[in-house]
């Protein structure tokens, strides 16, 4: 009985019991004060945890938060939790998960949402459990056994426990809450212990990953002696308990931006390390506007994503900055900008992300690079390699800046499509052909070439026609020789840039029309770096307008070239208008004079 | 009324006025007379100015109005480039035409005594064209400066489009009546 079944049951219950009053904590009286969260800790069975318990159990967030006060089932249908749920609209492309395996030169965008260009984890042979181990430390939880799980996975879920919805990720504002510790515990497969460890209320030791399949967390000492030291254990600090046996959480209704940033940081590679101070901040953040001021939600936790055509028009750029808006946000006059710009470009085109340059920049992301986690690779070249800004047309046909990831993966050719192979399958091929290559020190791609790809494909082809996608090309063997060809699946995955937002003075066009209307304007003619494990493919680049469908580049070039005559056009036009006005006035004056004379019966 | 239907209406009205004039000319028996012809260099200069004026007006009007009749009614691409390229020559020629014709197009008492009022119509359309030329130029040039906000920009472009349309209509009618006056050998 998996979480989806439970979720469905919870849904049905919610529907049936609509008349039931909301839970205590979900029915605000309207106070703007922060309610105190002095509450008992509850274990997965719902029993209260006391500081003096002989065999302490980790507290369960769903029991502690959801027992009496909050409808966790309703929360669990929110944006941060619903990717795996059936019938949920995918919405606009967003940040994918990136499965990186350096040994096999793999970098593949994953998502449970139907975002074109990403793959569902099962498509690469990745179970939900494996996904939870890989990426769960950066999620808000919501993973557990499913009906379709393998026997092995089912056994392991019992060992690790569920990675249940973790309210504390966003709502625990205590300085003791440590998201890096949460990720650390998830990596050790201490799923049921992770929230307790991260909360700072308890010390968690051991690793469920080391435990045998028959391990029972309620009878932890039943494992062999050599594993005793690795048994997951939780130890609460009595100092954290109040005389009532309850604990005081520093829970905030609205998550602090720094909590969002733990996962949603996007930072330019050039502004990491010692050069961090050179980076910029979103203008809203700089003005003290937190993420949740715009990305609002109710109990359902359906966070407003804030894009045009999304769920809430009032909380888009246009919504907040409309004339006479309720927020008091400045309304831009956009003086002198022809209105055609607003029908063909998004607000973000001029105001978000870095200004376009002659070649795209590289950035790192909290979710994909583990920023803030223990022992994170801080090298600039660490995989995955992500690029921005790339200007492309969105669903509405408007030009918008995007982030980009180049897929690199091995796959089987079936019915004209490439079905990605799990890196473990490729590793077996590498072992078979003794083709393993030493990893690079900086965490970047392997030092490999076409010959290596050819050799690996030769081994993979033994089990069926195979291909390697990288650098925007599909590589396959024809008559034993490697050939690279264009393929839709080799296209890079793009997702729109929303932040950081730049104010008018730093926007594209602030220096003049020629920010875009010059013959080498980066927005149309800049280069998009091509990323691939193959050095030869990294030497080439794509021109930006390759992503800007239906763009008349010839027109843009000619328009840009004509800009040098713009001053002349203005001078001649205004001069001509002045002369025509003079002619008009001269004869109008004469006509008035004649009219006046006519009233006296005289003709002039 | 959409801009494309406005373009069609003005074009049909222009043709209707020309057709009505042809009918009235036939009714009142106007024909070609051996009339006044200026001679020498001045004559050729006038001809050159008139031809250039008509050509510039036609080029600006065609590049400006034909895209309006297209699928989305937007001017972009080659049409926009051509239209903008035609703008300075048109502005220069418009001033010269205005200077060459302004004196001859003064309204006089004699305008109302003739049996058929072709001359005052020509004068009327001339002054109408000059009057529309000014906002046509000023509106689009103002849009090139950081003066108007988005709505103001849209209004300036609207002013340019409609004034340009009426300029084209009145300019063509002026050209027609001027041509007829020349054909009739009118001294005026």
Provide the pLDDT confidence category of residue A148 given band limits of 50, 70 and 90: confident
Give the closest-approach CA distance of B26 to chain A in angstroms. Answer: 33
Query: Does this model's pTM top 0.90?
Result: no
Mutate to test the interface with A, among B134, B160, B164 (most CBs of A within 10 A): B134
- Residues forming beta bridges with residue A109, ordered by sequence position: A98
| Contact between B87 and A562 using a beta-carbon 8 Å cutoff | no
Q: What is the pLDDT of residue B4?
A: 86
Chain A residues close to B92, C-beta within 8 Å:
572, 576
Q: Is residue B34 part of a domain?
A: no
Cβ of B81 within 8 Å of Cβ of A559? The answer is yes
> According to the model, what pLDDT value does residue B110 have?
74
Inter-chain residue contact B109 with A574, CB threshold 8 Å: no
B51 lies in some domain:
yes
A343 touches chain B (CB under 8 A): no
**pLDDT tens per residue, range A515-563:** 999 999 999 999 999 999 999 999 999 999 999 988 888 888 988 888 8
| B150 with A569: Cβ contact below 8 A | no
Q: How far is A563 from chain B (nearest CA, A)?
A: 11
Find the DSSP H helices in A200-240: none
Helix orientation angle between A423-432 and A450-460, rounded to the nearest 10 degrees: 100
Say what the pLDDT of residue A503 is. Answer: 94
Closest Cα of chain A to B139: distance in Å?
Answer: 10
Backbone CA torsion sign across A439, A442, A445, A451: negative
Closest CA to A547 of A423, A385, A398, A336: A398
Q: Give the pLDDT mean for A2-10.
A: 54
- Give dist(CA A555, CA B76) in Å, integer: 9
- pLDDT surpassing 70 at residue B114: no
What confidence score (pLDDT) does residue A13 get?
Answer: 53
* Reported confidence tier of residue A179, pLDDT bands at 50, 70, 90: very high
Looking at beta carbons, which residues of chain B come within 8 Å of A555?
76-78, 80-81
Average pLDDT over residues A254-270: 93
Check B106 against A338: CB less than 8 A apart: no
> Does the pLDDT value for residue A16 go beyond 70?
no
Closest-CA residue of B relative to A581 is B134
Give the closest of B77, B87, B154 to A555, CB-based: B77
Instruction: Say whether residue B148 is in contact with chain A using an 8 A CB cutoff.
Output: yes
Is residue B33 included in any domain, yes or no? no
Residue B95 to residue A579, Cβ atoms within 8 A: yes
Q: Are residues B88 and A569, on separate chains, in Cβ contact within 8 Å?
A: yes
- Owner of token pair 């795996």: A84
Q: Considering chain A, what percentage of its residues have pLDDT values greater than 90?
A: 72
- pLDDT tens-digit series, residues B76-95: 888 888 898 889 999 999 99
Nearest Cβ partner of B146 from A336, A568, A603? Answer: A336
Taking the Cβ of residue A587 and every Cβ of chain B, the question of whether any pair is shorter than 8 Å is answered with: yes
Q: Looking at residue A1, what is its pLDDT?
A: 43
Radius of gyration of chain A (CA): 30
How many Å apart are CA B140 and CA B138, to the nearest integer?
6
Query: What are the tokens at A117?
Result: 């260009």
Say how far apart CA A516 and CA A104 lie, in whole Å: 40
In total, the C-beta contacts within 8 angstroms joining chain A to chain B are 102
A339 touches chain B (CB under 8 A): yes
Residue A18 pLDDT greater than 80, yes or no: no
Mean pLDDT, residues B161-179 taken together = 92
Q: Does B110 touch chain A (CB under 8 A)?
A: no
**Strand A409-414 with A417-420, pairing:** antiparallel
Measured between CB atoms, does B143 come within 8 Å of chain A? yes
For A67-94, the pLDDT digits (tens) are: 889 999 999 999 999 888 888 888 899 9
Mind listing the pLDDT tens digit for each residue in A88-106? 888 899 999 999 999 999 9
Q: Helix, strand or coil for residue A361?
A: strand
Interface touch A569/B102, C-beta < 8 Å? no
Which of B94, B144, B146 is the closest to A570 by Cβ?
B144
Q: Quick check: A338 contacting B, CB < 8 Å?
A: yes
Torsion sign (Cα): A207, A208, A214, A215: positive
Contacts 24+ apart (CB under 8 A), B1-9: B2/B73, B3/B68, B3/B73, B3/B161, B3/B162, B3/B165, B4/B68, B4/B69, B4/B73, B6/B162, B6/B165, B7/B65, B7/B68, B7/B69, B7/B165, B8/B69
Print the domain residue range for B121. Answer: 3-28+40-187
Alpha helices (H) along B29-149? 40-65, 77-102, 118-142
Name the phi and psi angles at A320, rounded to 5: -75, -35
Report the chain B residue with the minimal C-alpha distance to residue A559: B81
Q: Show the tokens assigned to A201.
A: 């209320």
What is the tally of structural domains in chain B?
Answer: 1
Here the CATH number for the domain that contains residue B159 is 1.20.950
A567 and chain B in contact, CB less than 8 A: no
Predicted confidence (pLDDT) per residue in A378-403, tens digit? 999 999 999 999 999 998 899 999 99
pLDDT at A313: 76
Report whether pLDDT(A340) > 60: yes
Per DSSP, helices labelled H in A364-502 are 366-369, 423-432, 450-460
CB distance from A589 to chain B under 8 Å?
Answer: no
Could you tell me if residue B35 is inside a domain? no
Residue range A188-208: average pLDDT?
Answer: 95
Question: What is the distance in angstroms between the Cα of B29 and the nearest Cα belonging to chain A?
Answer: 31
Write down the pLDDT at residue B118.
74
Of B85, B130, B145, the CB nearest to A336: B145
Q: Which residues of A touch B85 (CB under 8 A)?
A: 562
Mutate to test the interface with B, among A323, A331, A339, A513 (most CBs of B within 10 A): A339
pLDDT digits (tens, 9 = 90+) for A199-227: 999 999 999 999 999 998 888 778 888 88
Look up residue A332 and give its two tokens. 């831009």
Residues in chain A within 8 Å Cβ distance of B126: none
Cβ–Cβ of A580/B95 closer than 8 Å? yes
d(CA A209, CA A185): 10
Q: Kindly determine whether residue A580 and residue B137, on different chains, have CB atoms separated by under 8 Å.
A: yes
Question: Measured between alpha carbons, how far is A464 from B180 in angstroms, rounded to an integer?
Answer: 84
What integer is the mean pLDDT of A420-429? 96
Interface confidence (ipTM) of the complex: 0.91
Judged against a pLDDT cut of 60, whether residue A4 lies above it is answered with no
d(CA A507, CA A269): 21
Residue A108's pLDDT band, with cuts at 50, 70 and 90, is very high
Instruction: Classify residue B172: in a domain, yes or no.
Output: yes
Element (H, E) at A199: helix A194-199
Contact between chains at A558 and B81 (C-beta distance less than 8 A) = yes
Q: Per-residue pLDDT averaged across B111-139, rounded?
A: 85
Tokens 């509850």 belong to which residue? A42
**DSSP conformational letter for A84:** G
Q: How many CA atoms lie within 13 A of A570 on its CB side?
A: 11
B80/A559 touch (CB, cutoff 8 Å), yes or no? yes
Mean pLDDT, residues A169-190: 95
Residues B49 and B97: beta-carbon distance below 8 Å: yes
Structure tokens at A336: 């002198």
Using the beta-carbon criterion (under 8 Å), do B95 and A590 form an inter-chain contact? no
A596: pLDDT strictly greater than 90? no
């Amino acid at each position: 009985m998996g979480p989806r079944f439970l979720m469905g049951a919870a849904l049905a219950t919610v529907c049936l019991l609509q008349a039931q009053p909301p839970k205590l904590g979900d029915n605000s009286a309207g106070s703007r004060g922060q309610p105190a969260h002095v509450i008992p800790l509850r274990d997965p069975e719902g029993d209260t945890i006391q500081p003096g318990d002989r065999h302490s159990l980790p507290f369960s967030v769903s029991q502690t938060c959801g027992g009496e006060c909050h409808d966790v089932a309703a929360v669990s249908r929110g944006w941060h939790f619903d990717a795996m749920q059936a019938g949920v609209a995918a919405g606009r492309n967003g940040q994918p998960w990136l499965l990186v395996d350096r040994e096999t030169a793999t970098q593949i965008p994953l998502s449970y949402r139907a975002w074109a260009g990403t793959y569902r984890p099962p498509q690469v042979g990745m179970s939900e459990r494996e996904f939870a181990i890989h990426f769960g430390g950066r999620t808000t939880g919501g993973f557990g056994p499913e009906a379709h799980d393998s026997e092995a996975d089912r056994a392991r879920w019992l060992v690790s426990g569920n990675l249940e919805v973790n309210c504390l990720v966003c709502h625990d504002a205590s300085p003791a809450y440590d998201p890096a510790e949460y990720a650390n515990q998830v990596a050790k497969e201490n799923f049921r212990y992770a929230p307790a460890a991260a909360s700072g209320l308890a010390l968690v030791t051991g690793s469920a990953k080391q435990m045998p399949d028959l391990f029972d967390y309620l009878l932890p000492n039943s494992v062999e002696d050599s594993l005793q030291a690795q048994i997951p254990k939780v130890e609460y600090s009595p100092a954290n308990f109040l005389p009532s046996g309850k604990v005081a959480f520093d829970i905030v209704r609205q998550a602090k931006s720094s909590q969002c940033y733990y996962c949603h940081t996007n930072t330019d590679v050039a502004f990491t390390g010692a050069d961090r101070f050179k980076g910029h901040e979103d203008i809203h953040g700089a003005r003290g506007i937190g993420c949740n001021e715009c990305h609002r939600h109710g109990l359902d936790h359906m966070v407003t994503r804030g894009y045009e055509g999304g769920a809430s028009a009032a909380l888009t750029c246009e919504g907040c900055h409309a004339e006479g808006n309720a927020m008091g946000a400045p309304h831009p006059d956009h003086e002198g900008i022809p209105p055609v710009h607003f029908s063909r470009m998004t607000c973000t085109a001029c105001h978000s992300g870095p200004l376009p340059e002659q070649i795209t920049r590289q950035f790192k992301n909290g979710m994909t690079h583990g920023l803030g986690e223990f022992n994170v690779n801080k090298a600039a070249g660490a995989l995955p390699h992500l690029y921005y800004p790339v200007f492309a047309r969105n669903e509405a046909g408007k030009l918008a800046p995007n982030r980009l990831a180049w897929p690199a993966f091995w796959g089987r050719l079936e019915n004209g499509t490439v079905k990605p192979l799990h890196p473990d399958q490729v590793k077996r091929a590498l072992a078979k052909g003794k083709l393993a290559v030493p990893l690079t020190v900086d965490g970047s791609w392997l030092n490999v070439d076409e010959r290596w790809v050819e050799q690996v494909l030769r081994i993979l082809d033994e089990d069926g026609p195979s291909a390697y996608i990288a650098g925007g090309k599909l590589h396959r063997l024809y008559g034993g020789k490697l050939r690279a060809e264009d393929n839709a699946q080799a296209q890079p995955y793009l997702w729109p840039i929303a932040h950081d937002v730049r104010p008018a003075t730093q926007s594209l066009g602030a220096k003049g029309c020629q920010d875009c209307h010059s013959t080498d304007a980066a927005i149309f003619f800049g280069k998009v770096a091509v990323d691939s494990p193959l050095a030869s493919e990294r030497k080439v680049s794509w021109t930006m307008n390759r992503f800007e469908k239906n763009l008349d580049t010839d027109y843009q070039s000619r328009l840009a070239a004509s800009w040098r005559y713009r001053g002349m056009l203005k001078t001649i036009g205004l001069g001509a208008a002045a002369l025509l006005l003079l002619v008009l006035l001269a004869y109008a004056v004469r006509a008035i004079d004649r009219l006046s004379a006519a009233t006296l019966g005289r003709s002039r | 009324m959409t801009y494309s239907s406005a373009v069609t209406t003005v074009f049909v009205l222009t043709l209707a006025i020309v057709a009505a004039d042809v009918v009235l000319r036939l009714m009142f028996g106007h024909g070609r007379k051996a009339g006044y012809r200026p001679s020498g260099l001045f004559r050729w200069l006038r001809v050159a100015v008139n031809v250039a004026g008509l050509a510039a007006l036609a080029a600006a009007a065609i590049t400006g109005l034909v895209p309006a009749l297209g699928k989305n009614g937007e001017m972009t691409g080659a049409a926009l480039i051509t239209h903008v390229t035609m703008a300075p020559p048109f502005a220069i020629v418009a001033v010269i035409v205005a200077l060459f014709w302004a004196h001859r197009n003064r309204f006089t008492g004699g305008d109302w005594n003739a049996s058929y009022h072709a001359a005052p119509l020509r004068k009327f359309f001339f002054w109408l064209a000059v009057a529309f030329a000014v906002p046509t130029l000023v509106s689009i040039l103002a849009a090139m400066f950081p003066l108007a906000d988005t709505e103001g920009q849209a209004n300036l472009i609207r002013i340019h489009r409609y004034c340009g349309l009426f300029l084209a209509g009145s300019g063509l009618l002026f050209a027609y009546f001027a041509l007829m006056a020349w054909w009739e050998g009118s001294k005026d």
